Structure 1
């Protein structure tokens, strides 16, 4: 399933700060912590909690967020369905990266073990 240019553009222009509270709510509602969420985000992007806070305050778009990220070399191991899309089949790089993050948050909320989420085996 391919994404539409409109879909890709919408993701690119969405601000990380508008989505972040939903990530927090989702994981906390399932008994996980913000610290665990930050661990997952740091694994994917290289952003520690302080840098994350700065990016939220700056209201960066997902496009800027992922341009500044140092994506984990194992990010391509994140596969499966998210929001109706098979991650490994998403052609647009930015959209695929945003879905990587969605998938990791989803796995965290579903109670998956951290070493599995962080693709450690």
Structure 2
């Protein structure tokens, strides 16, 4: 796969950075897990498997059980780019995840982060 080098970065190398970021701001690993599960449809076992097998971000999103359709409601700037304007679908998903973690770190209410959703897991099909 050609593309940005972040696509080949392992989820296992990014995840502890997310956790450290939110913990520095007084939040928890559980909150990171909630937003990642909401976005991707992974359950706890799926997240653990993604961490254990060190899959890259391209594979992490390719094998996501179900991207939350409300992810398109995520807007704003991340890394100097508006997430809603990112054309590459994989890069946009990565930046959605970054944006959600940033919102946790900033202390935004979970119902707002999950775009009105009340749960950390998507509704079952």
Identify whether the pair has TM-score above 0.5, normalized to the shorter chain: yes
Counterpart of 1:79 in 2: which secondary structure?
A: coil
Which of 23, 27, 30 is the equivalent residue of 2:18?
23
Once the two structures are TM-superposed, the CA of residue 36 in structure 1 deviates from its matched residue by 1.1
The count of corresponding residues between Structure 1 and Structure 2 is 115
In the TM superposition, residue 9 of structure 1 has moved relative to its aligned partner by: 2.3
SS for the counterpart of 1:119 is coil
Q: Please tell me whether residue 86 in structure 1 is matched to residue 82 in structure 2.
A: yes
- Partner residue in 2 for 1:3: none
1:76-118 superposed Cα distances (whole Å, 9 cap, x missing partner):
0001100111111110000000000000000000000000000
- After TM superposition, the runs of 4+ consecutive aligned structure 1 residues lying more than 4 A away are none
Unpaired runs of at least 5, structure 1: 1-5
Residue 97 of structure 1 corresponds to 93
2:107 to 104, 111, 114: 111
Query: 2: distance between equivalents of 1:111 and 1:56?
Result: 25
2:73 pairs with 1:77: yes
**Greater share of helix:** 1
1-side partners of 2:56 and 2:4: how far apart? 11
C-alpha RMSD of the superposition: 1.3
Aligned to 1:37: 32
Deviation at 1:49, TM superposition (A): 1.9
